[in-house]
Amino acid sequence: MWAFAGFLIISVIIFTVSKPYLGDSPDLSLQLSLRVGLNMLMSTNETFGPQKSYFKVKEVKLSCNSTHPRSEVCDIKGDVRIQGKSSNIVIASTEVFEDKDNDSWSIKPYARKESRAAMEQVSSISIKKAQNKEGLPDCSRNYSIPAIVFSTGGFSGNYFHDFTDLLIPLYSTSIQFNGQVIFLITDKHSIWINKYKQVLQKLSRYDQLIDFDKENEVLCFPRIVVGLKGSIKELAIDSSQSSYSIKGFREFLRNTYSLKREFVNITQGKRPRLLIISRSKTRKLLNAGELAGMAESLGFDAAIKETVMIIQIIPFGLGPMEWISRTDFEVPAKEMNLRYLGCRISPNESSLVHQYPYIHEVFKAPGAISKKGWNHFSSIYLEKQDVQVDLSRFRKVLLNTLELLQS
Ligand SMILES: *[C@@H]1O[C@H](CO)[C@@H](O)[C@H](O)[C@H]1NC(C)=O
Ligand SMILES: *[C@@H]1O[C@H](CO)[C@@H](O)[C@H](O)[C@H]1NC(C)=O
Ligand SMILES: *[C@@H]1O[C@H](CO)[C@@H](O)[C@H](O)[C@H]1NC(C)=O
Ligand SMILES: *[C@@H]1O[C@H](CO)[C@@H](O)[C@H](O)[C@H]1NC(C)=O
Ligand SMILES: *[C@@H]1O[C@H](CO)[C@@H](O)[C@H](O)[C@H]1NC(C)=O
Ligand SMILES: *[C@@H]1O[C@H](CO)[C@@H](O)[C@H](O)[C@H]1NC(C)=O
């Protein structure tokens, strides 16, 4: 028998405001596998001649992976020192890295590497080795637990990106520490932090989030992860990068927000609840009120915040629009075991008919428009479009939903 979690969501959010890659897959960036070696306890005189000041070095393990198409992550174990205000991370190390010319990296710790627009809003952090005492700043504070450094710049503030670029990668990077981890945040947006406070508190037991860019002191950690593990698919966790899953993330969210009911229970004649999310700026649902009225008359009740079933109203835009809505919502919803129904909008339900004649390329060839670039496509189909849902058509979608709920 089918079971359903919580309530229903009619998502009129529709899809991302970001730049997904339309068509071409992004370039794999330079293959730099920087793996560095292992035991660096000093045992020879060669690296440290008498003229250089001596220091004891802890074992250093460093792995930086920049081959992932979406995120760059460096995981460093050893004696790691952070000078936040100057965006520096210094590792006490004696060994030369495998790539001999490269003993420093610059990382933007945000998981949407392929988008220049996003990455322009993200600060770079430099990671260097210090081979002698002069290059190594003194610790002002010593920590005994690991830290994760990430940026809340990029496209944060947009729900889709909050989840796919930040919350899911943060979960996938930090859940292994079981709360024993400190977050250092660069490009700090307090609004974002307040909005997801519960999630942050669940992932890190330390109330204190450190504002990386304002930190004057030298903070020392036994391990630092710079950057978050992203996923090639939207709202997903790559099983190649992590032993965690998106279903686990869904459970984690239900726990975090104390959502008790995992299933919709309509056995006692209760009306299933329906949440209508109408966007307020672009792709507005122009007849949301009528739609709600109709849903009531069919036996739905008002709303709260639990998802089970997602109905996505997909604005006009044919192939490219369907690709976006599938990639950004349909596929992830199904991965999370949420039931999904899509409802494509026809030209006569789209406000674009008031702006372009029917014979215009906008209606005839959205594919050709998408080939001119994302910005061009988005400026028309995402920014200029509202939706007047054909109620008799949507009635069928709702009846279909009711039927699914009872099956
Ligand atoms: C270090 O240098 C001293 C004096 O030059 C030498 O006796 C010793 O064997 C060296 N140690 C190692 C590990 O090479
Ligand atoms: C780096 O990331 C790529 C892409 O996800 C993955 O295939 C590869 O195994 C990773 N390399 C290391 C050393 O972790
Ligand atoms: C070292 O690697 C980083 C990539 O992490 C690259 O940006 C930088 O240019 C490299 N430096 C040198 C000297 O090759
Ligand atoms: C931090 O640890 C180092 C090495 O153990 C020690 O020398 C230093 O005094 C400590 N600093 C503080 C502020 O506790
Ligand atoms: C649904 O609600 C009824 C009445 O409260 C209860 O007996 C039943 O166990 C519930 N079913 C589920 C699957 O929770
Ligand atoms: C709008 O277009 C759809 C599909 O082309 C059609 O089925 C429907 O009858 C039209 N509705 C109106 C109100 O013209």
Residue 3 in this model has a pLDDT that exceeds 50: no
Mutate which of 42, 44, 45 for ligand 1 pocket (most atoms within 8 A of beta carbon):
45
Among the atoms of ligand 3, which is closest to the Cα of residue 64? 5
Angle between helices 391-406 and 288-297 (to 10 degrees): 40
Ligand 2 pocket list (CB less than 6 A): 33, 63, 65, 67-68, 240-241
Mutate which of 58, 142, 221 for ligand 4 pocket (most atoms within 8 A of beta carbon):
142
**CA torsion through residues 29, 31, 35, 36, sign:** negative
pLDDT digits (tens, 9 = 90+) for 38-84: 223 333 334 443 344 455 667 788 888 888 999 999 999 999 999 98
Mutate which of 286, 346, 352 for ligand 6 pocket (most atoms within 8 A of beta carbon):
346
Report the C-alpha gap between 7 and 352 in whole angstroms.
Answer: 32
Within 10 angstroms of residue 155's Cβ, the number of other Cβ atoms is 23
Average pLDDT rounded to a whole number, residues 329-356: 91
Residue 236 in this model has a pLDDT that exceeds 70: yes
| Residue listed under structure tokens 């849902």 | 389
Residue 135 in this model has a pLDDT that exceeds 90: no
SS3 195: helix
Cα-to-centroid distance, 196 and ligand 4 (Å): 34
Residue 1 in this model has a pLDDT that exceeds 70: no
Kindly state the tokens that stand for 97. 């890295």
Domain boundaries, the chain: 2-18+260-406, 39-255
Cα-to-centroid distance, 65 and ligand 2 (Å): 6
Q: Which band of pLDDT confidence, cut at 50, 70 and 90, is reported for residue 268?
A: low
Average pLDDT rounded to a whole number, residues 311-335: 90
Cα-to-centroid distance, 106 and ligand 2 (Å): 18
Sequential DSSP letters for 53-111 = PP------EEEEE--SSS--EEEEEEEEEEEGGGTEEEEE--SPPSSTT--EEEE--SS
Q: Which band of pLDDT confidence, cut at 50, 70 and 90, is reported for residue 243?
A: confident
Residues of the chain above pLDDT 90, percent: 53
Least confident of 255-269, 302-316, 318-332, 373-387: 302-316
The residue whose CA is least distant from atom 3 of ligand 1 is 45
Ligand 3 pocket list (CB less than 6 A): 32, 66, 101-102, 105-106
238 CB near ligand 6 (under 6 Å): no
Report the C-alpha gap between 63 and 40 in whole angstroms.
Answer: 15
The pLDDT of residue 299 is 83
The pLDDT of residue 175 is 94
pTM to 2 decimal places? 0.73
Average pLDDT rounded to a whole number, residues 387-401: 91
pLDDT digits (tens, 9 = 90+) for 165-211: 999 999 999 999 999 999 999 999 999 999 999 999 999 999 789 99
37 backbone dihedrals φ, ψ, rounded to 5°: -75, 180
Average pLDDT rounded to a whole number, residues 337-341: 84
Within 10 angstroms of residue 403's Cβ, the number of other Cβ atoms is 9
